[in-house]
Structure 1
Amino acid sequence: MSPTPPLEVFCPAELAGQPVFMVLPGGAYLHRADHEGAPVARWLNSVGLNAIVVHYPIAPERAHQILHPAPLTGVRRTLQWLRSGESGLSIDTTRIGVLGFSAGGHLAATLSTGAGETETTDRPDLTVLAYPVISLVSHAHQGSVDALLGPDSSRATRHLLSAEVCADASTPPTFLWHTADDDAVPVENSLSFASALARNDVPFEMHIFPHGRHGLGLATDEEEVAQHSAAGWAELCSTWLTRQGWHPSV
């Protein structure tokens, strides 16, 4: 079994046997934002976790073909490859998480909720979502919808890939964060997913910061986020991961 799509591997020898996160950068399904890839993987390494940046399929600008289901199929195959132990990587195959930003957050959320499944498939063990695209129907990011499904997609098709609809009791524990004044992907996306998790008794932690532009990534230079949390979202997430028992004290 070989992984698809291509990957960047951040699994240093000193983290042998530790959990691993699949990192899914954003980019509206048209490109992949570099600052939400390798820098995030290195941050995960710094808190004791392995990381894989997944270069999932994207739609060439103005392409006429429908991109779905290629991205979701790609990350499902990557999860299966990691879980099988056939990767050759020294990771804990029983603890595989997914961390997604924006459109990558949509991909992470659909992977975690089993969206579009025709049969039972594996899911990650933990999910982290940063300013995610969740719904393709309500408060949707139209650019992501058009790239993934085409501009003429039906409401029924968009509904089937809206993660707040697909969330169920098998959705893994989830950490979410967003900014209230995000003018690209409205905060209602995270709020609706949190509500869906609550309805299904899925443990979650959510942080809504008052201000901050879309696409902050690690937000290391963003006063809008830092001023409302001394260490920013990454520190909050690291604390949450510790409570999940997913990394040693560092």
Structure 2
Amino acid sequence: MPDNGTILVLPGGGYHLHAAHEAEPVAEWLESLGWRARVVRYPVLAQHPIPLAAARAEIRAERAAGAGLVGLLGFSAGGHLAGHAALAPDSSPEERADFAVLGYPVTSMVVDPHLGSRAALLGPEHRHADAVAVSLETLVTPASPPLFLWHTAEDASVPVSHTYRLGERLAASGVPHEVHVFAGDVHGIGLGEGTAASAWTTLCANWLERVRNIAGPRGVLVP
């Protein structure tokens, strides 16, 4: 099986913990597809920019080790961090992800925010401007890397509007992306076995096959 590159897995947990079922099982699935994969247990209960700096350091380490293609896959709050590391405008080429996969992600810290994630990342008395600055929809530009997003339609923990809003910004900026929304109200389901959302793994595997054609940290998907 070809070596496609490296994907770093960022489990969710509201920036309070790392959900075990969103960690090694996901890395093992990615490895079955031919990717190198490992779990990144980024700092939790640590305010911005500490988690972002940790994610960037892991990307730099992969590039220093010779990886030509480095992607991120994150869930919920880990999805926020994956998206932040992919979209942050001040990242150097060595610490910018080539692509990201976001599962039921926290994207906005302003509109319908996940209060626990926001408080852990920004503190209980943060400024509105600080929340805007880490909301993913505000960071999208035409140079943003490709993203794959998925969610459930009635997620009661992180509203599906988080994914819709980010998808709209990606579309408006001409950024290659896919958005998949599945029936149900579940959250935190990882690979999704036994749920209507389990199809995300097949859809994502197909998308990752196309991602292999990305050239460089600011490349585009080649048909």
Structure 1-normalised TM-score? 0.81
What is the Cα deviation at residue 120 of structure 1?
4.0
Larger helix percent = 2
Identity across aligned pairs (percent)? 41
Which ranges of structure 1 fall in alignment gaps of 5 or more residues? 1-13, 60-65, 86-91, 227-231
CA distance in 1, matches of 2:98, 2:48: 24
Q: Which amino acid aligns with 1:82?
A: E
What is the Cα deviation at residue 149 of structure 1?
0.7
**Among residues 77, 80, 86, which one is paired with 1:106 in the alignment?**
80
**Among residues 127, 142, 147, which one is paired with 1:169 in the alignment?**
142
**What residue in structure 2 maps to residue 240 of structure 1?**
207
**What residue in structure 2 maps to residue 82 of structure 1?**
62
CA distance in 1, matches of 2:185, 2:55: 29
CA distance in 2, matches of 1:113, 1:69: 14
What is the Cα deviation at residue 82 of structure 1?
0.7
**What residue in structure 1 maps to residue 197 of structure 2?**
225
State the Cα RMSD in Å.
1.6
CA distance in 2, matches of 1:83, 1:212: 38
What is the Cα deviation at residue 68 of structure 1?
1.4
Q: Which amino acid aligns with 1:204?
A: H
Q: In the TM superposition, what whole-angstrom CA distance separates every residue of 1:126-157 from its partner, at most 9, and x where no partner exists?
A: 11000000000001101000011111111110
CA distance in 2, matches of 1:107, 1:41: 17
Which ranges of structure 2 fall in alignment gaps of 5 or more residues? 214-223
**What residue in structure 1 maps to residue 4 of structure 2?**
18
Matches within 5 A, 1:193-232: 193-222=166-195, 224-226=196-198, 232=199
Q: In the TM superposition, what whole-angstrom CA distance separates every residue of 1:173-225 from its partner, at most 9, and x where no partner exists?
A: 11110001000000011011111111211000110112141101000122x33
SS in 1 for 2:8: strand
Runs of 4+ in 1 over 2 A off after TM superposition: 119-122, 243-246
Count of residues paired in the alignment: 212
Structure 2-normalised TM-score? 0.90
